[in-house]
């Protein structure tokens, strides 16, 4: 029996795999500036007035800069946020900036979305569908990392990292699939993390409640990001090439944002202290914007689709495609995560097939 199986029988990582995952993240912190030195501080976008985009978590950090730049490049942008007041304030400020520069009014709106509640995800998506709106780019950016915090649960009683970083965005993606299909070519950009390299996951215990593994926030955060990649592998494979909907994952780099807001003061101090190596949120938004708008991303995704490479296209902060961790390429595990995710968000196992047949499986499943 191998070291991994002996130490962690429940789909865990052995110490060696965990250590190399940690090393991957540490090296990324120190080298990310060098690796991305060909990029300017702000991603230059062409005019994208033909795009209708949703950015989740656009009130802070990477999401804020992503939404602002897309809007200023002419896209129709929906800020999907739980704090709609803060989002409206931001939009007001952007409009003032535009007016001062003599630019046109931005095509931006704010919609309520709280990923801690699957009901909120359903309400958001139903509103979208009721108006038969177009959607070219869905950016699943909103995320949490309650570093050092104790275990908390969403209103759906799922562990909060798993809910906000994986389950709710997965539900959002699935419920908005009809909009993505009718607006194709379209794409979903999942803001993921290099920390998936340190992750271990048990498909039967996504909320870390079975007691088989002790909860800690790093395990919860990295596991949620790995779950998102594994789910995306299957989603990408199930979408036929002619549907022209691409699922992309991106690691934005290690970025100084509000993500560490719940972290103990000493960790926050270290986080700020290492600011020389970390990206600003503007720099963090570059790879997300690249994945959302650049045609080379679609070309790469098409290439991946027709190859045997068993993973969703994954870009890093230098805007280059890179390999995901070995765990994230485990297609047996991916299928388990796919099935479990659909079960937890209350979607039927054949949800996508029914979408392609033109029925509304989401409504039927709720009624049953
Ligand atoms: N920063 C990094 O070094 C880093 C590295 C790798 C990956 N990432 C990923 O990048 C993404 C953006 O993070 P960030 O660093 O920009 O963090 P951030 O500054 O904390 O921004 C996170 C955004 O997500 C929103 N959000 C949190 N919980 C939500 C919920 N329940 N419903 C709706 N929105 C919610 C926040 O809204 P409120 O303002 O209302 O809280 C905020 O707008 C995350 O997915 C994160 O995992 C970040």
| CA nearest to 284, candidates 262, 254, 260, 308 | 254
Mean per-residue pLDDT, 123-127: 98
pLDDT score at 311: 84
Confidence (pLDDT) at 362? 63
Q: Which of 230-234, 284-288, 299-303 has the lowest mean pLDDT?
A: 299-303
Atom of ligand 1 nearest to the CA of 56: 34
Residue 62 lies in a domain: yes
CATH number of the domain encompassing residue 83: 3.40.50.720
Q: What is the pLDDT of residue 18?
A: 85
- CA–centroid distance, 141 to ligand 1, in Å, is 6
pLDDT grade, residue 272 (50/70/90)?
A: low
Write the residue with the smallest CA distance to atom 5 of ligand 1: 254
pLDDT of residue 129: 96
Residue 346 has pLDDT above 80, yes or no: yes
Per the structure, the count of domains in the chain is 1
Asked if the structure places residue 95 within a domain, the reply is yes
User: Would you place residue 273 in the very low, low, confident or very high pLDDT band (cuts 50, 70, 90)?
Assistant: low
Could you give the CA distance from residue 40 to residue 58 in angstroms, rounded to a whole number?
22
36-58, pLDDT tens digit by residue?
999 999 999 999 999 999 999 99
| pLDDT number for residue 8 | 44
Q: What integer pLDDT is reported at residue 248 of this predicted model?
A: 98
CA of 194, closest atom in ligand 1: 6
148 pLDDT band, cuts 50/70/90, is confident
Q: How far is the CA of 60 from the centre of ligand 1 (A)?
A: 7
Atom from ligand 1 closest to the CA of residue 63:
16
Average pLDDT, the chain: 91
Q: What is the pLDDT of residue 38?
A: 96
Residue 320 covered by a domain: yes
**Does 1 fall in a domain?**
no
Beta-bridge partners for 224:
none
Q: Residue 54 sits in which domain range?
A: 12-367
- Give the pocket of ligand 1 (CB within 6 Å): 56-57, 59-63, 81-83, 113-116, 141-145, 164, 191, 193, 251-252, 254-255, 257-259
pLDDT in tens, 307-320: 777 789 999 999 99
Q: What is the distance in A from the centroid of ligand 1 to the CA of 329?
A: 25
Which residue lies with its CA nearest to atom 7 of ligand 1? 193
172 within domain boundaries: yes
- Closest to 29 in 3D by CA, of 214, 256, 242, 250: 256
pLDDT surpassing 90 at residue 186: yes
Average pLDDT over residues 128-147: 96
- Please give the number of the atom of ligand 1 that sits closest to the Cα of 255: 3
Query: Could you tell me the pLDDT band of residue 2, with boundaries at 50, 70 and 90?
Result: very low
E-only strand ranges, 251-358: 314-315
Ligand 1 atom closest to residue 64's alpha carbon, by position in its atom list: 43
Q: Which residue from 36, 58, 63 has its CB within 8 A of the most atoms of ligand 1, so it is best to mutate?
A: 63
Cα–ligand 1 centroid distance for 232 (angstroms): 19
Of 1-5, 66-70, 360-364, the range with the lowest mean pLDDT is 1-5
Question: Order of strands, edge to edge, in the sheet holding 245-250?
Answer: 108-112, 76-81, 52-56, 137-140, 186-191, 245-250, 314-315
Cβ contact 178:351 at 8 Å: no
Q: How confident is the model at residue 368 (pLDDT cuts 50, 70, 90)?
A: very low
Catalytic residue, chosen from 158, 221, 300, 351, is 221
> Angle at CA 28, nearest 5°, toward 221 and 12?
40
Output the DSSP codes for 134-174: --SEEEE------TTPPP-B-TTSSBHHIIIIIIHHHHHHH
Residues 199, 223: contact at Cβ < 8 Å?
Answer: yes
What is the signed CA dihedral for 177, 123, 260, 284, rounded to 10 degrees? 40
Using a 10 angstrom Cβ sphere, with 0-12 exposed, 13-18 middle and 19 or more buried, the burial of residue 92 is exposed
Assess if residue 3 is contained within a domain: no
Six-digit token string for 353: 């097939």
Residue 3 pLDDT > 50 = no
Domain-located, residue 5: no
Ligand 1: residue of 83, 116, 142 to mutate (most ligand atoms within 8 A of CB) is 142
| Span from the CA of 6 to the centroid of ligand 1 (angstroms) | 36
The answer to whether residue 6 is domain-embedded is no
pLDDT tens for 239-269 read 999 999 999 999 999 999 988 766 666 666 7
Task: Please report the pLDDT score of residue 189 as a whole number.
Answer: 98
> With 80 as the cut, is the pLDDT of residue 345 above it?
yes
pLDDT at position 254, please? Answer: 94
Using the atom order of ligand 1, give the atom closest to the CA of residue 114.
32
Cα of 47 to ligand 1 centre, how many Å? Answer: 26
Centre of ligand 1 from the C-alpha of residue 135, in Å: 22
When pLDDT is averaged across residues 135-140 and rounded to a whole number, the result is: 98
For residue 300, indicate whether it is catalytic. Answer: no
For the ranges 6-20, 32-46, 52-66, the lowest mean pLDDT is seen at 6-20
Mean pLDDT of 118-136: 97
pLDDT tens digit string along 159-171?
999 999 999 999 9
């Amino acid at each position: 029996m191998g070291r991994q199986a002996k130490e962690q029988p429940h789909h865990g990582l052995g110490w060696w795999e965990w250590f190399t995952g940690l090393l991957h993240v540490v090296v990324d912190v120190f080298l990310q500036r060098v690796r991305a030195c060909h990029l300017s501080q702000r991603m230059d976008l062409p005019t994208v007035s033909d795009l209708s985009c949703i950015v989740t978590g656009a009130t802070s950090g990477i999401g804020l800069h992503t939404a602002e730049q897309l809007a200023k490049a002419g896209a129709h942008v929906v800020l999907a946020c739980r704090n709609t007041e803060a989002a409206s304030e931001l939009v007001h400020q952007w409009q003032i900036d535009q007016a001062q520069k003599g630019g046109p009014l931005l095509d931006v709106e704010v919609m309520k979305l709280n990923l801690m509640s699957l009901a909120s995800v359903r309400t958001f998506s139903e509103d979208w569908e009721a108006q038969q709106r177009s959607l070219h780019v869905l950016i699943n950016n909103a995320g949490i990392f309650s570093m050092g915090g104790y275990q908390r649960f969403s209103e759906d009683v799922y562990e909060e990292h798993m809910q906000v970083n994986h389950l709710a965005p997965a539900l959002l993606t699935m419920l908005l699939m009809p909009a993505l299909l009718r607006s194709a070519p379209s794409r979903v950009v999942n803001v993921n993390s290099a920390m998936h390299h340190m992750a271990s996951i048990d498909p039967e215990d996504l909320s870390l409640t079975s007691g088989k593994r002790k909860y800690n926030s790093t395990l919860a955060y990295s596991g949620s990001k790995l779950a998102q990649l594994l789910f995306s592998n299957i989603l990408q494979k199930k979408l036929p090439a002619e549907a022209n909907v691409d699922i992309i994952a991106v690691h934005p780099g290690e970025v100084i944002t509000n993500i560490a807001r719940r972290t103990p003061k000493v960790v926050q101090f270290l986080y700020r202290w290492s600011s020389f190596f970390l990206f600003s949120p503007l720099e963090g938004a570059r790879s997300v914007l690249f994945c959302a708008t650049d045609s080379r991303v679609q070309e790469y995704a098409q290439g991946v689709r027709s190859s045997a490479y068993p993973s969703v296209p994954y870009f890093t902060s230098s805007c280059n495609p890179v390999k995901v961790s070995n765990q994230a390429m485990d297609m047996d595990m991916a299928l388990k995560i796919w099935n479990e995710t659909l079960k937890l968000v209350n979607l039927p196992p054949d949800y996508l097939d029914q979408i392609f047949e033109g029925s509304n499986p989401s409504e039927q499943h709720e009624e049953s």
